[in-house]
């Protein structure tokens, strides 16, 4: 899955000059894109003062969680078996077949220890951080608040951001795109910090034009609040405002990219089912982000705001949104456990 920019080792490249490609693909704050507006399930809440968005990693959360658990448990089991072969007497009939492979086992031990540390890094980043890293855009103060991975908050003027089409490459999913926001130095060319305002997986470069056509009017158009409100009434808002998402939403959000092609959910039920379970683990072991008091004071919310929308305004999830993905999750996880059990039983024969 695409975790570009996530974790201490995966942060976006900063302290560098803007590239020519970034300049060519930039988005101007005052210029709207002529595309069909789409929010791509990115909004947490909306009101007349501000809009809250999820981070670029929220749609794919769960992959590192289940993979790190499997990798960590596997490396511990194999390491334990190797230690058993080393400690017990060589004439023990249970390990007679391992003696000839001792050298290979010792060399393999280094690999498994490396795998265990890699699993710990992925688990720590996925499950011991925050459930999400929200971004808040205030159309009145024209400020953007970004919740960093270390729990601090960056506040920067909307008009000072250099917005461009960000590209990332992953061996699993290839090239992905996001709406990248660069904070520039005083020279207007040096990138000091970067974060993503929008992301869709899977997606094409044109997807960001659609997201920009959704987001830009809220900050720039006179009727931006009304237009954004109308668009979101046709969508779903993410249920993570001061809370963790429930297991139903973890299943829905994992399978959401295949909503228009339900057969792909069954075809990919094993990896997506494991991802759904991993997402539940990540969400229930991570902290809920809280905006600092100064950010909350700068972003008041009127209780009688006619344009106020939250996840509580969502309609119910139906068969194709929840129950079919849930069935695919059960089938996928069951098939994986069955296959794993068959492999393990075969090794012990």
pLDDT tens by residue, 278-300: 999 999 999 999 999 999 999 99
Span 202-235, pLDDT tens digits = 778 899 999 999 999 999 999 999 999 999 999 9
Q: At what angle do helices 324-347 and 247-255 cross, to 10 degrees?
A: 90
In the DSSP assignment, the letter for residue 130 is B
Residues 161, 28 contacting (CB under 8 angstroms): no
What confidence score (pLDDT) does residue 307 get?
96
Q: How far apart are the C-alpha atoms of 216 and 253, rounded to whole Å?
A: 25
What confidence score (pLDDT) does residue 73 get?
82
- Put residue 174 in one of left, alpha, beta given phi > 0 → left and psi -120 to 50 → alpha: left
What confidence score (pLDDT) does residue 260 get?
86
- The alpha carbon dihedral of 318, 319, 325, 326 has a sign of positive
Kindly give, in sequence order, each residue whose CB lies less than 8 Å from that of residue 113, ignoring residues fewer than 6 positions away: 75, 79
- The alpha carbon dihedral of 132, 241, 153, 129 has a sign of negative
Residue among 177, 136, 133 nearest 22 (CA)? 177
Strand pairing report for 16-17 and 190-199: antiparallel
CA 280 to chain centre: 13
Radius of gyration of the chain from its Cα atoms, rounded to whole angstroms = 23
What confidence score (pLDDT) does residue 82 get?
64
- Which tokens sit at 7? 């974790």
Q: How far apart are the C-alpha atoms of 195 and 148, rounded to whole Å?
A: 9
Span 67-76, pLDDT tens digits = 989 888 877 7
Tens digit of pLDDT at every position of the chain (349 positions): 788 888 866 688 899 999 999 999 999 999 988 899 999 999 999 999 999 999 999 999 999 899 989 888 877 777 666 666 666 655 555 555 555 555 556 666 666 777 778 888 889 989 999 999 999 999 999 999 999 999 999 999 999 999 999 988 877 778 889 999 999 999 999 999 999 998 887 778 899 999 999 999 999 999 999 999 999 999 999 999 999 999 999 999 999 998 888 999 999 999 999 999 999 999 999 999 999 999 999 999 988 999 999 999 999 999 999 999 999 999 999 999 998 888 777 656 5
Beta strands in the chain (DSSP E): 16-17, 26-27, 43-46, 50-53, 135-138, 143-147, 153-157, 162-170, 174-184, 190-199
What confidence score (pLDDT) does residue 200 get?
85
What's the pTM? 0.89
Kindly give, in sequence order, each residue whose CB lies less than 8 Å from that of residue 103, ignoring residues fewer than 6 positions away: none
């Amino acid at each position: 899955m695409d975790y570009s920019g996530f974790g201490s080792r995966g942060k976006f490249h900063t302290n560098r000059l803007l590239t020519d490609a970034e300049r060519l693909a930039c988005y101007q704050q005052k210029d709207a894109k002529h595309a069909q507006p789409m929010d791509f399930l990115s909004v947490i809440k909306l009101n007349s003062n501000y809009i809250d968005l999820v981070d670029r990693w929220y749609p794919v959360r769960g992959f590192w969680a289940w993979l790190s658990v499997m990798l960590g448990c596997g490396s511990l089991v194999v390491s334990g078996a190797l230690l058993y072969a080393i400690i017990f007497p060589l004439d023990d009939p249970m390990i007679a077949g391992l003696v000839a492979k001792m050298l290979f086992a010792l060399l393999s031990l280094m690999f498994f220890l490396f795998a265990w540390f890699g699993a710990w890094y992925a688990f720590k980043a996925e499950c011991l951080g925050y459930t999400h890293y929200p971004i808040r855009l205030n159309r009145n103060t024209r400020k953007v608040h970004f919740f960093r991975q270390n729990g601090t908050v960056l506040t920067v003027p909307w008009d000072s951001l250099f917005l461009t089409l960000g590209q990332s490459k992953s061996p699993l999913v290839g090239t992905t795109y996001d709406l990248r926001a660069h904070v520039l130095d005083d020279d207007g060319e040096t990138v000091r910090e970067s974060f993503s305002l929008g992301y869709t997986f899977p997606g094409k470069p044109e997807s960001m034009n659609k997201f920009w056509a959704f987001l830009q009017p809220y900050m720039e158009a006179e009727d931006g609040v009304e237009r954004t409100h109308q668009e979101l009434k046709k969508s779903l808002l993410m249920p993570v405002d001061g809370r963790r998402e429930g297991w139903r939403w973890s299943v829905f959000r994992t399978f959401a990219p295949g909503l228009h092609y339900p057969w792909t959910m069954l075809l990919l039920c094993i990896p997506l089912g494991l991802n759904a379970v991993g997402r539940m683990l990540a969400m229930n072991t991570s902290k809920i982000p809280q905006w600092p008091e100064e950010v909350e004071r700068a972003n008041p919310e009127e209780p009688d705001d006619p344009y106020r929308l939250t996840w509580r305004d969502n309609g119910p999830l139906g068969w194709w949104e929840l129950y079919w993905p849930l069935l695919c999750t059960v089938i996928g996880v069951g098939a994986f456990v069955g296959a794993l059990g068959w492999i393990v039983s075969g090794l012990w024969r």
